[in-house]
């Protein structure tokens, strides 16, 4: 089979028609995207978007720093409170005495105890570090510290 110049010419014309139709389709799509816009308008939109993105990034960094500060403060703040009421004197009164523990996430804080009797009221405060105290804790104080501990 010999390809004549006529067949070659028809093939080239068909390919030219396909390319022209493809270019028309692309031109229509571009006109739809850029309808009513000028190149300068699009450049302004891109520059404005870039500026807004920079501002957003700065705001994100500020929020992350603030959240780190808040998380640090929360870890150090009181997160667990427990009160245990008890009667230290079996022969008189009722559960007017108490031990209350205030503990943060690290297990640090204070336990405050009040011993009530008819003649007087005594109040004690003992520091707590890592869930323990350098002072001897009563059973009620130990129970209050254990219940107030929120370390997870």
pLDDT digits (tens, 9 = 90+) for 33-89: 777 666 567 777 788 889 999 999 999 999 999 999 999 888 889 989 999 998 887
The reply to whether 22 falls in a domain is yes
Asked if residue 137 and residue 85 are part of one domain, the reply reads: yes
Strands (E), the chain: 78-86, 97-104, 109-116, 121-128
The reply to whether 124 falls in a domain is yes
The reply to whether 43 falls in a domain is no
The reply to whether 60 falls in a domain is no
Which pLDDT belongs to residue 4?
A: 83
Asked if residue 30 and residue 82 are part of one domain, the reply reads: no
Could you tell me the two tokens for 50?
A: 């870039």
The reply to whether 64 falls in a domain is no
Q: Which domain holds residue 120?
A: 78-148
The reply to whether 39 falls in a domain is no
Q: Whole-model pTM?
A: 0.58
Query: Any idea which of 4-13, 53-62, 98-107 has the lowest mean pLDDT?
Result: 4-13
The tally of domains found in the chain comes to: 2
Of 110, 117, 55, the residue nearest 92 (C-alpha): 117
């Amino acid at each position: 089979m010999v390809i004549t110049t006529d067949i070659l010419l028809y093939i080239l014309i068909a390919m030219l028609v396909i390319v022209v139709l493809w270019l028309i389709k692309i031109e229509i799509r571009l006109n739809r995207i850029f309808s009513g816009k000028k190149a300068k308008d699009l450049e302004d939109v891109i520059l404005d978007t870039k500026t807004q993105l920079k501002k957003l990034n700065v705001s994100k960094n500020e929020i992350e720093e603030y959240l780190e500060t808040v998380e640090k403060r929360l870890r150090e703040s009181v997160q667990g409170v427990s009160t245990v009421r008890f009667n230290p004197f079996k022969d008189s009164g009722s559960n007017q005495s108490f031990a209350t523990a205030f503990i943060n996430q690290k297990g640090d804080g204070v336990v405050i105890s009040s011993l009530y009797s008819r003649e007087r009221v005594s109040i004690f405060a003992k520091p707590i570090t890592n869930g323990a105290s350098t002072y001897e804790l009563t059973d009620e104080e130990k129970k209050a510290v254990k219940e107030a501990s929120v370390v997870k």
